Amino acid sequence: MDINTAKSKVSEVGFLDINIDPSLDLFQAIQDLKSKKNAIVLAHYYQEPDIQDVADYIGDSLGLSQKAQSTEADMIVFAGVHFMAETAKILNPSKKVVLPDLKAGCSLADSANPELFKRFKEKYPDHIVITYINCTAAIKALSDIICTSTNAKAIIDSLPKDQKIIFAPDKNLGAWLNKQTGRNMVLWNGACMVHEIFSLEKITKLKHRHPNAKLVAHPECEQAVLDHADYIGSTTGLLKYTMTDSAQEYIVATETGILHQMQKSSPHKTFIPAPPNNACACNDCPHMKLNTLEKLYLAMEYETPEIHMDEELRLKALKPIERMLEISREAGLVPKD
Ligand code: 13P
Ligand code: SF4
């Protein structure tokens, strides 16, 4: 199949739905395509283990943005969700950015509609808008500074104490940051479906059965869960904490994909996913998990689905991302180039 036929097939379902020879060694085939096409595979910690194992770089949202900005590859294969691949395209317009499944969205990004957000902003004309990176390019274009869970505190702290701030779209992260920074930011009412699913009651029972286990949680979790956490941080923060801390058991309140790197980095420790409030596997992000190794291979081979962006929108969305990277460099959170 040629690349143009492949593109038209993708427009129907969001990914290339074609059969792959079952005897193909996908790991080797992906490695070969990397060299042939000078491609880099960037993966978020929430991707399935096979994808993490084939990636050139695995990281949190900040690390992935920085890597997307600094790479010399011709093609960025983004194993994550749409807003992440979109951010890579905003930072690197001349490069081809492909996402294995275009429908890999994000409930948090979906919770901020640009029209409604514009009206919300108008109610607070003297406020600076700090927006979590989990949002669309249209929301980024309406923001002053983007942040991730790794740099949010440093970004807020870099502003004068009396500066009024709107924080969007995650109300849980925003409330936690208000406590951390002593601010009273106005919060947009959005949330992540995965991080709101944890059951404090089930976590408490689990802690009784594992009295020495520490609870580590992502700040997108609800306040009730965060109040019981021994450590709160971004995915990179959680991973590093479990590597350096002396406990042997951890209950992990974030998407389950992170357990793969935790277990690889600390093979003798035990990691237990925090239980959701029903019998589903809802602590697996249904968006992140739309990507598979097969779709990744096909995206590389046929260079589609590709991220495209209107140049005017890109330039508007770029400004607050650049401010984020600048403050992060000054705070030593990303390498100074
Ligand atoms: P971080 O990896 O930046 O902590 O973000 C978590 C997340 O929810 C990404 O979708
Ligand atoms: Fe979005 Fe939550 Fe999935 Fe992250 S885990 S991509 S915030 S829905």
The model's pLDDT over 302-317, given as tens digits with 9 standing for 90+, comes to: 999 999 999 999 999 9
Burial of 64 (0-12, 13-18, 19+ CB in 10 A): buried
Residue nearest to atom 2 of ligand 1 (CA): 60
Q: What is the pTM of this model?
A: 0.95
**How do residues 214-223 score in pLDDT, each as one tens digit?**
999 999 999 9
Fold of domain 3-104+288-306:
Rossmann fold (3.40.50)
Residue of 84, 170, 192 to test ligand 2 pocket, by largest number of atoms within 8 Å of CB? 192
Do 200-273 and 108-191+316-330 have the same topology in CATH?
A: yes
Right CATH for 200-273 from 3.40.50.2300, 3.40.50.620, 3.40.50.280, 3.40.50.10800: 3.40.50.10800
> 280 pLDDT exceeds 80?
no
Q: Which of 134, 256, 261 has most ligand 1 atoms within 8 Å of its beta carbon, as the pocket-test mutant?
A: 134
Model pLDDT, residue 56: 98
Closest atom of ligand 1 to CA, residue 195: 8
CATH number of 108-191+316-330: 3.40.50.10800
Point out the least confidently predicted range of 154-163, 289-298, 328-337.
Answer: 328-337
* Helical residues (DSSP H) of 217-310, grouped into ranges: 223-226, 235-244, 258-265, 293-302
SS3 state at 222: coil
Nearest ligand, measured from the Cα of 237: 1
Atom of ligand 2 nearest to the CA of 192: 2
- Domain segments of the chain: what residues? 3-104+288-306, 108-191+316-330, 200-273
Residues 288 and 81 sit within 8 Å (Cβ to Cβ) = yes
Average pLDDT over every residue of 279-291: 88
